[in-house]
Structure 1
């Protein structure tokens, strides 16, 4: 602490001697208190503006009367998409036919969500992530690899956050399922029919094989 260039430090009541050149603020939880300081005085991202950018291509712009929706420049939203209130779809995103996205969810720029996938409420998906690409399924027939059709979906439950450059494949049948509250780091691969439980943490770089399961808080 003596070498810090800060003028104020956040400490708990049981902290030892604080150097004379520092002002100590006693708080119950220094990390939580510092987070409040950052929220007040740190970098503030530009808030999304509700509305559809003129360059976006949106097949059915009503969305059942949902409000507060923001769709950025050059995004594509296909027919049959259902969006909840206050959904944010960033610039360059692609949202496929019949996708469902719940209230308060945010897709950062260049996210792809393929057909029929289901995304819950308050989900955050960072840039260059792909949800619902085909699972990697082949059979070796007559001396060559024959693709096995992937007919399932990806289901992402409420309050999930998915890092940049992550890929979550659609199921061969049924669903690839990410449970409520799970946090997935950047550059993670989740294969077809994988089930991830509630409140798991998956750290990059890692991959989950087809049909594997992760328990809660793994």
Structure 2
């Protein structure tokens, strides 16, 4: 068994649940969070692995809940803090059509709240550990050359990337590894049934990336194969 410990935020389903399962399979201990009422997937995992999985509840859009979780975890040390958060909208909805409420909801959930969480939990990561957030290849401005939809989702993930880069610039001397993870097009509730990757394939690759990049300082924007994603 490994002596490593991860905090995975947004772990009730999809990519977050898959990452929780992959790290548990590798012998890590995991503190996994979900929102209240998110279902029993994590509880089933806890039945299998016992005290290597700790369950917590938090909605990262609720600053009071985030602060309360930080207090509960005070004194804990993690080799990995990974914030998995993402919502989307109607694929073909353009910036000309999107409502202000939808735009604000995506920017809050996909960009602002994950980075506020990173700011608040940074000091719980071991000096040579990893701070990671789930980004997307669709956040790449360089690759945005075809009409494929998801305009507001793309913008929210680009905003996340920019905020993480600003965070990295402010902490240039920090030895911790910073990762923007692009999981690929995955068969989740968000990705849909036609996506090319299974959750297991994507999250196995992402777990490899975390372990490979651990100990490398600086910010890395990479996909599930470890390849650099162009900004």
Q: TM-score, normalised by structure 1?
A: 0.29
Which structure is richer in relative contact order (CA contacts within 8 A, separation 6 or more)?
2
TM-score normalised by length of structure 2: 0.28
Larger strand percent = 1
Q: Which structure shows the higher helix fraction?
A: 2
